[in-house]
Structure 1
Amino acid sequence: MKIDLSGKTAVITGSTAGIGFAIAEGLAKAGATVVLNGRKQEVVDAAVKRLAGLGEGAQIRGVAADLGTQEGCEKLIAAEPSCDILVNNVGIFGPQDFFETPDSQWQRFFDVNVMSGVRMSRAYLPGMSDRKWGRVIFISSESALNIPADMIHYGFTKTANLSLSRGLAKRMAGTGVTVNAILPGPTLSDGLEEMLKKAGTGSGKPIEEQAAEFVMEHRPSSIIQRAATVEEVANLVVYTASPQASATTGAALRVDGGTVETIA
């Protein structure tokens, strides 16, 4: 199967590192024009330079905007008023006990993890519908189904991503536009690596080994018994964004290493 996204423009939110950057790289390799996004201009510029330096031949642009705010979303939309592929990837996470999580933290997680996707989808879906082709992909999480006891506020936002993607898929019925959610499991992204370093429990061990131990302690139902790579997650996103995935919509697609204990 050869995925060709030549002539398509992809906006990937929160894409200067980790899963987002891997998705951007995968889409660029498939020929898409890629728009990177992060909060700080210098970080965005560095990511654009890094991706362009991989020599894929795709056009790479970047927009610095904080998508946890309405103003930030409007800034990105003004800079890139149209796209064919939208990947709502930007997100924050972190453990915090329910009884110690203030309203402000709930609101922050909701604004970044949910409202960014609402605003971006609302802006780009009408144009996709007019062109009779488009892809919107929400990066949810297995935590949308396996709500973590130590990150209830995070799991709540990822479940909301599933509601959004399913509802929007129905709203776009018959337009040629698909809307789906991707559910990664524990993934060796920059965020997980930083969390493991802060914990300091596996000091001296390779980061892959530390990540595997984390998975088996916190997600013992994992079948692959390790953290996924960001490229493994990106591969499913690139397929979902492709013309070949035209009959896949309204779906919650798992790349969770078998962590979720269900066959459905």
Structure 2
Amino acid sequence: MQIDLTHRRAIVTGSTAGIGLAIATGLAAAGAQVVVTGRTQARVDDALAAIRKQVPKAIVTGIAGDLGTRKGADLLIAQVPDTDILINNLGIFEPKAFFDIPDEDWERFFEVNVMSGVRLSRHYAQGMAKRGWGRIQFISSESGVQIPAEMVHYGTTKTAQLAVSRGLAETLAGTGVTVNAVLPGPTRSEGVGDFFAKIATEQGVSQEQVERDFIASHRPSSLIKRLATTDEVANLCVYLASEQASATTGAAVRVDGGVVRSIA
């Protein structure tokens, strides 16, 4: 199967590192014109350089702004009024005991993880529907299905993304626009890597050991018994953005290494 996204424009939010950067790179390699987004210009510039190094012929541009706010969303929309592919990847996570999570954290997580995708989808989906083609993805998590006790606020926002994704897919039925949620499992992204590295330093062990212990203790149902790579997640996202995935919509597609113990 040859995925060709030539002449398609894609926006990937939160794409200066981790899963978002891998998705942006994969889409660029498939020929899409990719818009990278991040909070600072320096991070955006570094991401553009990384993509161009891996994909020399990449057509990529970048926009710096806080998409976890209405102002940031308006800034992006003003500079890029239309797109064919929208990957709502922006997200934050933070292990914290339920009784220690204040209202402010709940509100911040909802704004960044949920409302960023709602605002952008509300705008871009209408243009996609008028043109008769489009791809929207919400990068959710297996934590949206199996809420982790160590970060209930995060899991709750990931469940909300599943609801928004399915509801938008229903709204766009018959338009040629597909909407799907992608559910990664534990993935070796920049944020997760930094978190495990900090624990490794505190415990005086290797990061690899910390990762193995995490899988064994917190995600024992994993069938691959390791963290996924960002490229493994991105491969699924690139496929779902393609013409070949035209019959897949309204779905919650897992790339979780089998962590969720379900046959459906």
Specify the alignment match of 1:115 in structure 2: 115
Please tell me the residue identity of whatever aligns with 1:100: D
Please tell me the residue identity of whatever aligns with 2:151: M
Rounded to whole Å, the distance in 1 between the matches of 2:257 and 2:219 is 10
CA shift, 1:209, in A, is: 4.7
Specify the alignment match of 1:70 in structure 2: 70
Q: Is the 8 A contact 1:135 1:177 kept in 2?
A: yes
Report the secondary structure of 1:53's partner residue: helix
Please tell me the residue identity of whatever aligns with 1:48: L
Specify the alignment match of 2:4 in structure 1: 4
> Size of the alignment, in residue pairs?
263
Q: Is the 8 A contact 1:29 1:56 kept in 2?
A: no
Query: Does residue 70 of structure 2 align to residue 49 of structure 1?
Result: no
Rounded to whole Å, the distance in 2 between the matches of 1:79 and 1:132 is 22
CA shift, 1:150, in A, is: 1.1
Rounded to whole Å, the distance in 2 between the matches of 1:248 and 1:56 is 31
Report the secondary structure of 1:151's partner residue: helix
Rounded to whole Å, the distance in 2 between the matches of 1:56 and 1:122 is 33
Specify the alignment match of 2:159 in structure 1: 159
RMSD: 1.1
Could you report, residue by residue, the CA deviation over 1:197-252 in whole angstroms, capped at 9, with x for unpaired residues? Answer: 221266453x4453233222210010100000000000000000000000000000
CA shift, 1:53, in A, is: 2.3
TM-score, normalised to structure 1's length? 0.97
Could you report, residue by residue, the CA deviation over 1:133-191 in whole angstroms, capped at 9, with x for unpaired residues? Answer: 00000000000011001110000000000000000000000000000000000000011
Structure 1: state its 5+ residue gaps: none
Please tell me the residue identity of whatever aligns with 2:227: A
CA shift, 1:55, in A, is: 3.2
Q: Is the 8 A contact 1:109 1:154 kept in 2?
A: yes
- The residue correspondences of 1:20-59 to structure 2 (distance < 5 A) are 20-59=20-59
Rounded to whole Å, the distance in 2 between the matches of 1:202 and 1:9 is 45
Could you report, residue by residue, the CA deviation over 1:30-82 in whole angstroms, capped at 9, with x for unpaired residues? Answer: 00000000000111111112212223412100000101110011111111111
The list of structure 1 runs, each at least 4 consecutive aligned residues, that deviate by more than 3 angstroms after superposition, is 201-204, 207-210
Report the secondary structure of 2:136's partner residue: strand
Q: Is the 8 A contact 1:110 1:157 kept in 2?
A: yes
Could you report, residue by residue, the CA deviation over 1:103-149 in whole angstroms, capped at 9, with x for unpaired residues? Answer: 00000000000000000001100110011000000000000011001
- The residue correspondences of 1:241-260 to structure 2 (distance < 5 A) are 241-260=241-260
Specify the alignment match of 2:91 in structure 1: 91
Report the secondary structure of 2:24's partner residue: helix
Report the secondary structure of 1:7's partner residue: coil
Report the secondary structure of 1:35's partner residue: strand
Rounded to whole Å, the distance in 1 between the matches of 2:209 and 2:263 is 28
Report the secondary structure of 1:4's partner residue: coil
Specify the alignment match of 1:218 in structure 2: 218
Please tell me the residue identity of whatever aligns with 2:171: R
Bigger mean CA offset, 181-190 vs 56-65: 56-65
Rounded to whole Å, the distance in 2 between the matches of 1:212 and 1:77 is 42
Query: Does residue 202 of structure 2 align to residue 182 of structure 1?
Result: no
Bigger mean CA offset, 216-225 vs 133-142: 216-225
Please tell me the residue identity of whatever aligns with 2:259: T
Rounded to whole Å, the distance in 2 between the matches of 1:230 and 1:55 is 16
Rounded to whole Å, the distance in 2 between the matches of 1:102 and 1:227 is 30
